Amino acid sequence: MFVVTNRSIDSGARGLKQFGKIPNENGPHELRLVEAKRRGKGWNIDVLPDRLTRAQKEEIGLPVSKRAYSSSYGAHMILKRVRKEKKNVLVFVHGFNNDLKAVLDRAEGFEKLYNVEVLAFSWPADGGGVKGVASYKSDKRDARASAGAVYRTLAIARRYLNAFNGQLLNEVHTKAIEKFPDNREERQQYITRMAEKGCPFKINLMLHSMGNYLFKQIQKSSVFDEHHMLFDNVILAAADTNNENHAEWVDRIKCRRRTYIVINEDDGALRASRIKSGEEQLARLGHYLHGLDSRQALYVDVTDAPNVGGSHAYFEGDPVKNKRGRSYRFWRSALNGERAEQHLEYHPASNTWRP
């Protein structure tokens, strides 16, 4: 799988020890692409060069004289795999206190459990600064510093998707005019049908915990519209952001199908910051069932779903071990760009959908 990261990289180290707990020395917006392959209980890690080597260009069919970057290689390999294996793409942004191994292990879990191709974004969120609950504001500063890197990652992904779709649509338009020169309706139906056939995969975004806070900063930016319609579904899970006024930025999210906000009222990680006197935070979006007033998001309440309890990661492990259960079917559908609420029951009193 591929991982985009803005972590510092120690070129003298090997494997996962290469990745630091602070942003890249060239700034928090500096990106590197990493290819990771499972090797026994560990991971084989390859930090790709900024510019592709001759061998890498030849592998993906680029002219050796053409300047090309690692993102070209990653985009080519991901598109090749999802088309061959008939999978959808899941872009995953993790939360706080995750080192790269934890990110890779979780991403691999998504791939095996939900049959998706994961592109992970990993930011320096594993305790490079002050420790403990009192460090919460410091943690948020770390997250804000990485928001621009997430934005750049999405912009690059959008650029490659546009290039892929643009070439496809030009060919389809030409054929449509030849087949239906005098019938605009038939021509448009043909274009839609052939475009979907030529691009059979969906791209979805999963944000976990404080990863939602990074995405919130992007939505509040005046330039976020550049990513219009990049994703089919956007899933905000265990969101470590304020519940208060969340609709102001959530309703700016652009996606083709659904925005899901998943809530566990008993979430132990999100409730922890409200327990100690003097260290309380405002109610978090991922554990609070009041003020659910977004005009476009669908709220999913998993509080009383089987085996959830105080889980902060109810999309893996025991809560989804029953493949016939509503929880598993919801997550599989949501992460594959489908209408996942069809597996849930709507409760109008709380404006929530429940397994």
Residue whose structure tokens are 């809560």: 319
| Confidence (pTM) | 0.90
* Number of CB atoms found within 10 A of residue 265's CB: 16
In eight-state DSSP terms, residue 249 is H
My answer on whether 172 and 212 are in the same domain is: no
Range of the domain at 241: 202-355
> Does residue 124 have a pLDDT over 70?
yes
239: pLDDT strictly greater than 60: yes
Last residue in a domain, options 198, 231, 264: 198
Torsion of CA 320, 324, 329, 331, to 10 degrees: 10
Is the domain of 11 the same as that of 126?
yes
Q: Do 168 and 251 fall into the same domain?
A: no
pLDDT in tens, 68-107: 999 999 999 999 999 899 999 999 999 988 999 999 999 9
State yes or no: pLDDT of 144 exceeds 90: no
Contacts of 202 (CB under 8 A, 6+ apart): 88, 89, 232, 233, 336, 337
Domain identity same for 217 and 74:
no
From 150, 169, 198, the end of a domain falls on: 198
Q: Average the pLDDT over 194-198 and give the result.
A: 64
66 pLDDT band, cuts 50/70/90, is confident
Same domain for 188 and 309, yes or no, is no
**CA proximity to 285, closest of 310, 252, 311, 263:** 263
114: left (phi over 0), alpha (psi -120 to 50) or beta: alpha
Are residues 247 and 112 part of one domain?
A: no
Pair 165, 212 in one domain = no
Tell me if 269 sits within 8 A of 343, measured CB to CB: no
Contacts of 159 (CB under 8 A, 6+ apart): none
Q: What percent of the chain has pLDDT over 90?
A: 68
Number of domains observed in the structure of the chain:
2
Nearest 5 degrees, angle CA 156-CA 158-CA 163?
100
The average pLDDT across 26-49 equals 95
Cα separations in angstroms, 213 against 57, 89, 121: 37, 22, 14
Give dist(CA 226, CA 153) in Å, integer: 12
Whether 191 shows a pLDDT value over 80: the answer reads no
Which tokens is 168 given? Answer: 């496809």
Mean per-residue pLDDT, 41-62:
92
- Whether residues 110 and 224 fall in one domain: no
Give the length of the chain: 355
Q: Say whether both 219 and 238 belong to one domain.
A: yes
Q: Say if CB 216 and CB 209 are below 8 A apart.
A: no
Number of H helices, E strands in the chain: 9, 13
Mean pLDDT, range 176-198, rounded to an integer: 75
Among the candidates 169, 198, 227, a domain finishes at 198
The pLDDT of 111-123, averaged and rounded, is 97
183 lies in the same domain as 206: no
To 5 degrees, how large is the angle CA 153–CA 156–CA 159?
A: 150
pLDDT surpassing 80 at residue 56: yes
What number is the average pLDDT over the span 189-193? 73
40 shares a domain with 159: yes
Checking 247-252 for CB contacts under 8 A at 24+ apart, the result is 247/293, 247/294, 247/295, 247/297, 249/216, 249/219, 249/220, 250/219, 250/294, 250/296, 250/297, 251/294, 251/295, 251/296, 251/297, 252/219, 252/224
DSSP conformational letter for 331: H
> Which strands sit side by side in the sheet containing 203-208, from one edge to the other?
42-47, 32-39, 2-5, 116-122, 88-93, 203-208, 231-237, 255-263, 298-301, 352-354, 345-347
Residues 192 and 219 in one domain: no
